C-alpha cells in the first residue's frame, strides 16, 4: 500500500540512498577489519620492542665497565712495554705488529707520536710480539705463541742490522763460506804423500860420546 | 518540481555514489597496504628481541674481562720484577 503510493521519482531516490548506504557499510566494515589486523600487529611490535628495551638496558653499563677494564690493561701493558723496552724499541714492536700504528703513538705517552720507530718486528720472537699485541687492544691470543718464531735464526745478524737502517754498515752482506774440513771434505788440505808408501827408515845413529863401544 | 527530483536522483546515482565508492575503496586499499608492513615490522622486532637473548652473557664477559685484566696486571708485575728496565 505504502510502496504503491510512492511516486517513481521518490523510489529512485530511495534506491540511490540505499545503494550509497550499502557501499558505506561494505567498505567501512572491510576497513575496520583491516584496522583490527593492524592493531593486532602493532601490539606484537610493541611487545617485541619492549623486550628489546629490557634486554638492551644494561648493555651500556656493562660495555662501559668492560672498556674501563680493557683501558686499564692497555695502560698497564703500554707502560710496562715502554719501561722495559724503551720508547723507541717499544714503538718498533708495535710498528712491527701493526704497520703505520707507530705514527699514532701510545695513548699515555704524547711524545711517542714523534718518536721514530725502528724496524724491530723482524728480529723479536712471536712471544714478544704477542706480549706487545696484548697491549694494542687486539683480541687476546689471536696469534698462537707456540708457533714458529718470527726471527730468522740463520740470518739473525742481518735482521738485527736492519733495525737501525740509518747506521752505515761496512761489512758485506754475505761473507764467503768457511772451507769444509775433515776426511770427507771435497778438497783435502795439506795432503800427505807418505800415506800408503813404505815406512821410511830412520838413518843410523852416529856413535855418541857416551856410547860404551 | 518532478523534473528537479529526477535530476537529483540522477546526480545521486551517477555522481555521488561513484565518488563515495571511489573514496571508500581508496581508504580500504590504504588500510590493506599497511597490514603486510606491520606484519614485517612485528617479525623483525621479534627477531631483534631474539638476537638480544645473548646480552645476558655480557655479564659473564664483564666478569671474565675483569679477571683477565687482573691476571695481566699480576703478570705485568712479575715481568716488572724479573726484567730490567730499558734505561
**CB-nearest partner of B31 from A19, A31, A73:** A31
Q: What is the DSSP letter of A151?
A: S
Q: Which of A169, A174, A95, A179 is nearest to A136 (CA)?
A: A95
Q: Per mean pLDDT, which of A68-77, A85-94, A95-104, A158-167 is the most reliable?
A: A68-77
- The gap between the terminal CA atoms of chain A, to the nearest Å, is 189
Q: Per mean pLDDT, which of A9-13, A148-152, A159-163, A175-179 is the most reliable?
A: A9-13
Rounded to two decimals, the ipTM of the complex is 0.73
- The CA-atom distances, in angstroms, between A40 and each of A6, A37, A49, B1, B36 are 48, 5, 14, 53, 12
Residue with cell 714523534: A114
Q: Could you say which residues of chain B have pLDDT below 70?
A: 87
Q: Is pLDDT of A198 > 80?
A: no
Q: Is A84–B48 a contact, with Cβ atoms under 8 angstroms apart?
A: no
Angle between helices A8-56 and B17-51 (to 10 degrees): 10
A191 touches chain B (CB under 8 A): no
**Count of CA atoms in the C-beta half-sphere (13 A) of B86:** 12
Q: Is B6–A9 a contact, with Cβ atoms under 8 angstroms apart?
A: yes
Q: Which residues in chain A have their CB less than 8 angstroms from residue B35's CB?
A: 34, 37-38, 41
Q: How far is A71 from chain B (nearest CA, A)?
A: 9
Q: How far is A176 from chain B (nearest CA, A)?
A: 36
Question: Lowest-pLDDT range, A15-24, A52-61, A85-94, A122-131?
Answer: A122-131
Residues A46-79: tens digit of each pLDDT = 999 999 999 998 899 999 999 999 999 989 988 9
**CB-nearest partner of B59 from A49, A62, A77:** A62
A73 touches chain B (CB under 8 A): yes
Q: How far is B66 from chain A (nearest CA, A)?
A: 6
Q: Is A83–B86 a contact, with Cβ atoms under 8 angstroms apart?
A: yes
Q: How many CB atoms lie within 10 A of CB A14?
A: 13
Amino acid at each position: 500500500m505504502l510502496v504503491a503510493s510512492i511516486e517513481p521519482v521518490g523510489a529512485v531516490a530511495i534506491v540511490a540512498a540505499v545503494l550509497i548506504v550499502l557501499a558505506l557499510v561494505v567498505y567501512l566494515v572491510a576497513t575496520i577489519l583491516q584496522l583490527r589486523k593492524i592493531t593486532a600487529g602493532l601490539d606484537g611490535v610493541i611487545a617485541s620492542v619492549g623486550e628489546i628495551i629490557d634486554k638492551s638496558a644494561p648493555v651500556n653499563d656493562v660495555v662501559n665497565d668492560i672498556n674501563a677494564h680493557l683501558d686499564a690493561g692497555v695502560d698497564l701493558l703500554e707502560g710496562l712495554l715502554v719501561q722495559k723496552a724503551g720508547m723507541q724499541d717499544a714503538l718498533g714492536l708495535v710498528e712491527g705488529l701493526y704497520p703505520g700504528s707507530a705514527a699514532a703513538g701510545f695513548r699515555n705517552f704524547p711524545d711517542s707520536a714523534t718518536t721514530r720507530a725502528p724496524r724491530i718486528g723482524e728480529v723479536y720472537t712471536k712471544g714478544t710480539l704477542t706480549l706487545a699485541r696484548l697491549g694494542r687492544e687486539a683480541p687476546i691470543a689471536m696469534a698462537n705463541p707456540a708457533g714458529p718464531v718470527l726471527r730468522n735464526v740463520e740470518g739473525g745478524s742481518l735482521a738485527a742490522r736492519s733495525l737501525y737502517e740509518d747506521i752505515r754498515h761496512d761489512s758485506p752482506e754475505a761473507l764467503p763460506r768457511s772451507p769444509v774440513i775433515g776426511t770427507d771434505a771435497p778438497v783435502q788440505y795439506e795432503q800427505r804423500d807418505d800415506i800408503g808408501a813404505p815406512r821410511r827408515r830412520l838413518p843410523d845413529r852416529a856413535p855418541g860420546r857416551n856410547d860404551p863401544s | 518540481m518532478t523534473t528537479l527530483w529526477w535530476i537529483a536522483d540522477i546526480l545521486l546515482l551517477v555522481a555521488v555514489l561513484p565518488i563515495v565508492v571511489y573514496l571508500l575503496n581508496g581508504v580500504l586499499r590504504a588500510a590493506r597496504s599497511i597490514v603486510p608492513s606491520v606484519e614485517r615490522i612485528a617479525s623483525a622486532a621479534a627477531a631483534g628481541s631474539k638476537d638480544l637473548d645473548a646480552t645476558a652473557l655480557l655479564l659473564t664477559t664483564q666478569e671474565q674481562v675483569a679477571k683477565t685484566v687482573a691476571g695481566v696486571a699480576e703478570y705485568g708485575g712479575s715481568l716488572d720484577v724479573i726484567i730490567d728496565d730499558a734505561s
